[in-house]
Structure 1
């Protein structure tokens, strides 16, 4: 049996959709905080169980019988993500889960300036110490994040960043499809498993790609940290959110997202989607 948490979200929900193309619904379970939101899976014959990492009592029944368990990482910036992940891993161990798969990040490292990357690294340490076979899906930075990280370049013709660096922007849809392939392989991938697109453009190169997509010049500018923060606040973004995003740019500048890996292409059997594809989708029809 395969149990997938967070299936009402875009990433793991799409993973379940892909699993359903090759796996009987009777062999799948979605474990979600709000079962009412998982009606489409129930309608397809998938069992729906309640699971909330913040409610440890909900987890034993949710994880029961799982040969493989896909744990979604916490996306709540106000929560102690590592504590929530520890609770879920402990429950998986107690339930006798055969393998834990975890949605991690390419930049997982204890010394990254990007907060979630540190959380992922600590969670991977918990997985390694759990005694259960595990696979960490180190996804490339999700390409749809470009929409808010590079600002209103369509209107301004400018990509403004605090510092520059390469990022292997990767489609969330491609990551979901690859996760389904890895789950279906039933243990063929062990430990940290990097899944990225085939290029890691800098933000200056993103501006060049945007120029090609829009058919007009889009330039890039590196403002520096404090001027960029000030510009974000002036545009209405809370300073705390701006400084959270700053960690991503600083991690890019330090090379945490620079690597690319051919595995995603192999798993998909085709070229992953590119930054050009993502920016083209964002333009008005």
Structure 2
């Protein structure tokens, strides 16, 4: 029997929000979720949700798990952005298996560096573009969804902790930070509505914010003193390698420096009205989301801020 929707990444925050939307709006017999962890079966089936085991590292699980799927939500692998080769292998495995299984429509979650263009110099975006190109050449019907940068991840971008007194960055730029919950709901609605065959779409909030703007919002929301200082890339790397509270490796700060350099070039300032159209309301602005997060929890953090 054909399965209308298969949701990958449902154990993560983004995929989890999508799953919640499906549970509340779609008959349970029309969709299933997948995980690389077989032990998650009991948890999902306990919620009345069908489960399939898919491990991006293991093509045999993909061959079985993607059978009779009409719409596949292909959430990009949760492999650390440091491991570009592994991301490429995982994504290639999924595309090849989806083509072999004759999946009718693949909905792929990409990143927004460069807006609608393909000339970003950011390594992880180049890998997403490579995956988009795999889909284009595969013969599959696809939609590439370039998801806005999660506003919730601002502590990682600023290397901010609740007791941080000074933000040190190599440069600044406008970023269309977007609420993860808005993106999840928008992605779910996009899939359920259908269309957008063989297209690349961009989901973002309607406004941008800079690092300095986030610092101002932190000050306004918490009453804490916080400064921001711009230094050379070498000073940025040296400072955070020595003083980072999260004990992250220098390669991650090299990646962050490349992201801020891209932001300074304008790669993350592109906004699009599609998310507003799909949600039938204005998405939360980055300022509003940062303020909301800090009002709910003054020491809001992001998991990748720690090694």
What's the TM-score once normalised by structure 1's chain length? 0.92
Aligned pair partner of 1:257 in 247, 254, 268: 268
Deviation of 1:273 after TM superposition, in Å, equals 2.2
Confirm whether residue 97 of structure 1 aligns to residue 111 of structure 2.
Answer: no
Aligned pair partner of 1:267 in 274, 278, 281: 278
Equivalent residue for 2:217?
Answer: 209
SS class of match (2:237) = helix
Deviation of 1:38 after TM superposition, in Å, equals 4.7
Deviation of 1:68 after TM superposition, in Å, equals 0.3
Equivalent residues in 2 for 1:70-219 (5 A)? 70-77=73-80, 78=83, 79-107=85-113, 111-152=119-160, 154-188=162-196, 190-215=198-223, 218-219=226-227
Deviation of 1:113 after TM superposition, in Å, equals 3.5
Unaligned runs of 5+ in 2: 300-307
Deviation of 1:277 after TM superposition, in Å, equals 3.2
SS class of match (1:255) = coil
Equivalent residue for 2:11?
Answer: 8
Q: Is the 8 A contact 2:136 2:198 kept in 1?
A: no
Unaligned runs of 5+ in 1: none
Q: Distance in 1 between matches of 2:256 and 2:189?
A: 31
What's the TM-score once normalised by structure 2's chain length? 0.86
Q: Distance in 2 between matches of 1:216 and 1:233?
A: 25
Confirm whether residue 37 of structure 1 aligns to residue 40 of structure 2.
Answer: yes
Q: Distance in 2 between matches of 1:154 and 1:10?
A: 22
Task: Indicate the RMSD between aligned Cα atoms, in angstroms.
Answer: 2.0
Deviation of 1:190 after TM superposition, in Å, equals 4.5
Q: Is the 8 A contact 1:93 1:132 kept in 2?
A: yes
Confirm whether residue 240 of structure 1 aligns to residue 243 of structure 2.
Answer: no
Show CA shifts across 1:91-126 (max 9, x none): 101111110001101116654232211111111111
Q: Distance in 2 between matches of 1:277 and 1:39?
A: 37
Q: Is the 8 A contact 1:113 1:248 kept in 2?
A: no
Q: Distance in 1 between matches of 2:164 and 2:97?
A: 49
Total equivalences in the alignment: 285
